[in-house]
């Protein structure tokens, strides 16, 4: 179902061919590209059925994915979605006919998947703009860097604290 949240709704209404679709899963956002007539193209894990694939958090940890054409309403299920062409302000979309042609060639193909470097958002932005972009991955990399830096700092502080307790004077 489309989102009723005014911050998430698409002011232009129904999706149009070539639009990016952001689907709100409980723990992450899944991305698809609207092809038309109710169909989208998206990535699903290789080892799961198309219906179960995108409702599973396992899709986030897969190393391979299959490009599938599916009905938007089936992929969304009980989650919400919105049209979100958020990169249009700094990336020029390819012509719609080229986006659709590039998409159709990939249906059924197995592709590499990496949460941080080649995820579903990278995939659909590559189709729309000719360049893979993922704000979600950038945020995740930033969070990982922050956690790593914090762990390193705590480790150094622990080492300093241990050394000062072991001194005889």
Q: How far apart are CA 4 and CA 63, in angstroms?
A: 34
Catalytic residue among 89, 91, 120, 122: 120
DSSP string, 2-61: B---TTTS-TT-S--TT-EEEEE-SSSEEEEEEEETTEEEEEEETTS-HHHHTTSTHHHH
Q: How far apart are CA 10 and CA 60, in angstroms?
A: 26
Burial of 28: CB neighbours in 10 Å, binned 0-12, 13-18, 19+: middle
Is residue 108 classed as helix, strand or coil in its secondary structure? coil
Within 13 A of 73's CA, how many CA atoms are on the CB side? 3
Catalytic residue among 30, 89, 91, 122: 30
122 is catalytic: no
120 is catalytic: yes
Residues identified as active-site: 30, 120
């Amino acid at each position: 179902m489309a989102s009723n949240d005014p911050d998430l709704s698409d002011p232009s209404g129904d999706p149009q061919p070539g639009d990016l679709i952001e689907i709100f899963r409980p723990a992450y956002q899944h991305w698809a590209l609207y092809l038309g007539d109710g169909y989208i193209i998206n990535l699903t894990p290789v080892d799961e059925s198309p219906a179960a694939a995108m409702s599973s958090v396992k899709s986030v940890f897969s190393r391979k994915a299959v490009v599938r054409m599916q009905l938007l309403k089936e992929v969304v299920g009980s989650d919400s979605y919105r049209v979100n062409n958020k990169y249009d302000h700094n990336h020029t979309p390819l012509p719609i006919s080229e986006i659709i042609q590039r998409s159709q060639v990939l249906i059924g193909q197995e592709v590499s998947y990496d949460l941080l470097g080649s995820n579903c958002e990278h995939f659909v932005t590559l189709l729309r703009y000719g360049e893979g972009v993922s704000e979600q991955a950038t945020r995740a990399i930033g969070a990982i860097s922050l956690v790593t830096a914090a762990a390193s700092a705590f480790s150094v502080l622990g080492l300093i604290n241990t050394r000062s307790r072991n001194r005889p004077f």
